[in-house]
């Protein structure tokens, strides 16, 4: 006996139970074959019984209306055949029938109604005598009794189908055109003189000749945008391919982000500075617990995603717009990361009109770490907007291009900084499954209380999947490159050629990452980093010294037009992804700046906690800021 291979499956015998002898394997093989035979037999009997019951049911329904008188017809198989009635045949449920959609009847089977397939089967079943005309070659004249019976059967079928046509027309939304094609040549004007030369009408051909012409095909629905390829490899895109919470009107979503980060500077107040993703050292922290999803019904759409955890505190404090006016906008929106409603238009390949809070994707990376290749992105992503509050129009001229203009309150702001709103546009192009090109452009007035100062910014990214071998250990590889440039002008600053009275205030930054996937996407490895320069520090995240916020500022770290800031970073990230819904992430980061910026051992919190107004001077207190930082992060990320 040839040895069997492991492991073993009971029914397929592809896997073997490991034993030292062959006898357990043999018994398992016999049981498997026996089980397969039994299941095959039962399946065959079940199918046969179902088909028989269906045919009997059809026959019973057909026979119910056979008591009506019918006109006599001469035989079309004998030598004195001079007339053949013109049958009226219509297949119920054809795509051209009113009240139908893609050939699906709008009524259930029964109640005297037969669908097209059943009518065809019944016609063939009741037409066994057609061939008998050829079999009677030993007689000069065919059997008149047989011919009469044959024509009677055909007439029954004609009357029945005509009645079905009338019933269908009565229940349809509009009138149904009568389809009466000419008889096939084998029957039309048939005058047979000898049974031996009588051509036998083919029942299948007769039915086929009387079928209505194929209806005009439905107007092809436009392709779904970016559905032509798998883009789960992109950073900033979720890698899940399905949702366990999906209904006709709602697709649910749950996100959990928990991390433990160790800062090798050992800040005594456990505070991490200069990040919009990581905030505490030496502690397990819930960065985000989000629950919500997408609503979609009859062209109406909406999305809600909450943010409980550190995001509910750290994201609002980076927005200075709540300092203008009343109603505490930072508190009003604190627990919401996305909330918008809109409408979908079936124009081009789709147009979405949405209003509310939505993601910006300036800086390429997603606000949600699960969607990204790294936990801590470089400054170009971390220091640019995560969300907008306003109106967007997503226009898809094709399934490979998106044009998305925005009218928003400002640069990652709940309200407006000045009188004018922010304006922007995103263009996303994915010509194939391995290339994605993204361009974001923005204009606004985003310095609180300085309406004459304007901001412009461009953010441009490319992502390329340059290797894809699913059967290999290294099964996929891709890289990203992002370049950002912007400046502010007016209100005492200029984009270039600065003077003492109007210094240059601009932003330049880049970042690049390379990602490798191993063993069918079970493991991921990302290497990368980036750098920025930002004179005036208008996009630098303010250190939370003594509770400072973007609105309060702090004299310990100023953001004046002549203040310089340069920084760079590098990281290595290892992911273990046992399912499409979960990621275990391990990451090392090195970050550096040209000025003291990161929390040192002394921390950034006064002894006894924050004192006085946020960010204010505290006598005898000086924050411990350093020019570099090294961190190690472990995170569990879940998306359902």
In whole angstroms, give the CA distance from residue 239 to residue 583: 10
Count of other CB atoms within 10 angstroms of residue 473: 9
Percent of the chain residues topping a pLDDT of 90: 53
Would you state the pLDDT for residue 59?
53
Fold of 250-639: Porin (2.40.160)
Tokens of 588: 């090392």
SS (H, E, C) 129-151: HHHHHHHCCCCCCCCHHHHHHHH
395-430 pLDDT per residue, tens: 999 999 999 999 999 998 999 998 889 999 999 999
> Averaged over 8-13, what is the pLDDT?
40
**What is the DSSP annotation of 371-417?**
GSS-SS--HHHHTS-SEEEEEEEEEEEETTEEEEEEEESSTT-SS-S
- Is this prediction's pTM over 0.85? no
Would you state the pLDDT for residue 293?
94
Burial 438-469 (b: 16+ CB within 10 A, else e): bebbbbbbbbbebeebbbbbebbbebebeeee
pLDDT at 129 over 60: no
pLDDT at 360 over 80: yes
Would you state the pLDDT for residue 150?
79
576-618 pLDDT per residue, tens: 999 999 999 999 999 999 999 999 999 999 988 899 999 899 9
Q: Is the peptide bond before 468 cis (omega within 30 degrees of 0)?
A: no
pLDDT at 70 over 60: no
Percent of the chain residues topping a pLDDT of 70: 69
Would you state the pLDDT for residue 301?
95
Q: If pLDDT is split at 50, 70 and 90, which confidence band does 167 have?
A: confident
Q: How far is CA 445 from CA 166, 316, 451, 497, in A?
A: 70, 19, 6, 21
Stronger pLDDT, 505 or 19, i.e. the higher one: 505
Residue whose pair of structure tokens reads 């390429």 in the numeric block? 364
Q: If pLDDT is split at 50, 70 and 90, which confidence band does 501 have?
A: confident
pLDDT at 97 over 50: no
In whole angstroms, give the CA distance from residue 411 to residue 429: 24
Would you state the pLDDT for residue 135?
41
pLDDT at 162 over 90: no
Residue 434 CA, distance from chain mean position: 17
Largest interatomic CA distance in the chain: 128
Count of other CB atoms within 10 angstroms of residue 365: 28
Stronger pLDDT, 64 or 244, i.e. the higher one: 244
Stronger pLDDT, 279 or 83, i.e. the higher one: 279
240-294 pLDDT per residue, tens: 988 888 999 999 999 999 999 999 999 999 999 999 999 999 999 999 999 999 9
Q: Which residues on adjacent β-strands are paired with residue 256?
A: 289, 638
pLDDT at 464 over 60: yes
Residue spans per domain, the chain: 250-639
Would you state the pLDDT for residue 310?
94
Which helix (H) or strand (E) is 159 found in, with range? helix 144-171
527-584 pLDDT per residue, tens: 999 999 999 999 999 999 999 998 899 999 998 888 999 999 999 999 999 999 999 9
User: Which class for 223: exposed (0-12), middle (13-18), buried (19 or more C-beta within 10 A)?
Assistant: middle
Which helix (H) or strand (E) is 250 found in, with range? strand 250-263
Can you list the positions of beta strands (E) in 490-557? 506-518, 523-533
User: Which of 217-221, 347-351, 400-404, 624-628 has the weakest average pLDDT?
Assistant: 217-221
**What is the DSSP annotation of 564-628?**
--EEEEEEEEEEEEEETTEEEEEEEEEEEESSS-EE-TT-SS-TTS--SSTT---TT----EESE
Would you state the pLDDT for residue 217?
53
Q: Which residues on adjacent β-strands are paired with residue 567?
A: 532, 593
Q: If pLDDT is split at 50, 70 and 90, which confidence band does 42 have?
A: low
In whole angstroms, give the CA distance from residue 530 to residue 160: 78
Count of other CB atoms within 10 angstroms of residue 612: 12
Sequence-distant (6+) residues with CB within 8 A of 556 are 543, 545, 546, 548, 615, 617, 622, 623, 625
Which helix (H) or strand (E) is 106 found in, with range? none
> Averaged over 218-233, what is the pLDDT?
85
Stronger pLDDT, 492 or 96, i.e. the higher one: 492
- Between vectors from CA 267 to CA 263 and to CA 269, what angle results, nearest 5°? 125
pLDDT at 476 over 70: yes
């Amino acid at each position: 006996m040839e040895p069997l291979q492991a492991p073993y499956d009971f029914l397929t015998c592809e896997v073997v139970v490991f034993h030292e002898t062959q006898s357990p394997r043999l018994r398992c093989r016999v049981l498997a074959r026996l089980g397969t035979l039994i299941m095959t037999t039962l399946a065959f009997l079940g199918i046969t019984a179902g088909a028989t019951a269906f045919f009997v049911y059809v026959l019973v329904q057909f026979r119910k209306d056979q008591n009506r008188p019918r006109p006599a017809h001469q035989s079309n198989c004998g030598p004195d055949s001079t007339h053949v009635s013109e049958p009226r045949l219509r297949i119920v449920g054809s795509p051209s029938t009113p009240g139908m959609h893609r050939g699906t009847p709008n009524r259930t089977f029964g109640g005297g109604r037969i669908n097209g397939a059943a009518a065809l089967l019944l016609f063939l079943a009741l037409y066994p005598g057609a061939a008998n005309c050829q079999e009677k070659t030993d007689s000069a004249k065919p059997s008149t009794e047989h011919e009469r019976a044959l024509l009677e059967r055909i007439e029954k079928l004609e009357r029945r189908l005509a009645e079905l046509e009338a019933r269908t027309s009565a229940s349809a939304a509009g009138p149904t055109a009568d389809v009466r094609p000419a008889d096939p040549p084998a029957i039309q004007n048939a005058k047979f003189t000898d049974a031996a030369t009588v051509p036998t009408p083919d029942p299948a051909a007769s039915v086929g000749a009387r079928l209505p012409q194929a209806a005009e095909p439905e107007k092809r629905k436009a392709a779904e945008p970016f559905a032509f390829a798998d883009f789960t490899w992109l950073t900033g895109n979720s890698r899940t391919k399905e949702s366990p919470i999906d209904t006709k009107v709602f697709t649910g979503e749950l996100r959990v982000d928990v991390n433990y980060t160790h800062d090798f500077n050992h800040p005594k107040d456990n505070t991490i500075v200069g990040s919009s993703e990581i905030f505490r050292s030496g502690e397990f922290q819930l960065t985000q617990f989000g629950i919500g999803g997408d609503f979609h019904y009859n062209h109406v759409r909406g999305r809600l995603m909450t943010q409980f955890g550190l995001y509910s505190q750290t994201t609002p404090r980076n927005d200075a717009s709540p300092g203008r006016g009343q109603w505490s906008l930072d508190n009003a929106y604190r627990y919401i990361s996305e909330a918008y409603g809109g409408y979908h238009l079936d124009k081009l390949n789709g147009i979405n009109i949405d209003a509310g809070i939505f993601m910006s994707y300036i800086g390429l990376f997603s606000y949600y770490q699960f969607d990204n290749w790294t936990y801590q992105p470089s400054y170009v992503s971390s220091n640019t907007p995560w969300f907008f509050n306003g109106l967007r129009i997503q226009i898809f001229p094709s399934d490979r291009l998106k044009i998305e203009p925005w009218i928003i309150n400002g640069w990652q702001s709940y309200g407006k900084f000045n009188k004018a709103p922010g304006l922007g546009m995103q263009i996303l192009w994915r010509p194939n499954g391995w290339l994605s090109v993204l361009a974001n452009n923005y204009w606004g007035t985003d310095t609180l209380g300085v309406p004459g100062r304007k901001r412009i910014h461009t953010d441009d990214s490319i992502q390329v999947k340059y290797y894809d071998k699913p059967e290999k250990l290294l099964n996929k590889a891709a890289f990203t490159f992002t370049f950002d440039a912007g400046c502010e002008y007016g209100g005492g600053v200029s984009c270039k050629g600065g003077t003492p009275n109007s210094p240059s205030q601009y932003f330049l930054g880049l970042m690049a990452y390379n990602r490798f996937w191993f063993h069918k996407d079970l493991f991921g490895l990302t290497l990368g980093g980036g750098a920025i320069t930002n004179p005036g520090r208008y996009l630098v995240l303010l250190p939370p010294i003594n509770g400072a916020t973007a609105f309060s500022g702090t004299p310990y770290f100023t953001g004046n037009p002549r203040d310089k800031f340069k920084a760079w970073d590098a990281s290595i990230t290892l992911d273990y992804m046992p399912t499409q819904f979960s990621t275990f992430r391990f990451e090392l980061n090195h970050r550096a700046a040209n000025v003291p910026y990161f929390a040192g051992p002394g921390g950034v919190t006064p002894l006894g906690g924050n004192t006085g107004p946020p960010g204010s001077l505290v006598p005898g207190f000086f924050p411990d800021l350093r020019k570099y930082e090294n961190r190690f992060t472990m995170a569990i990320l879940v998306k359902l």
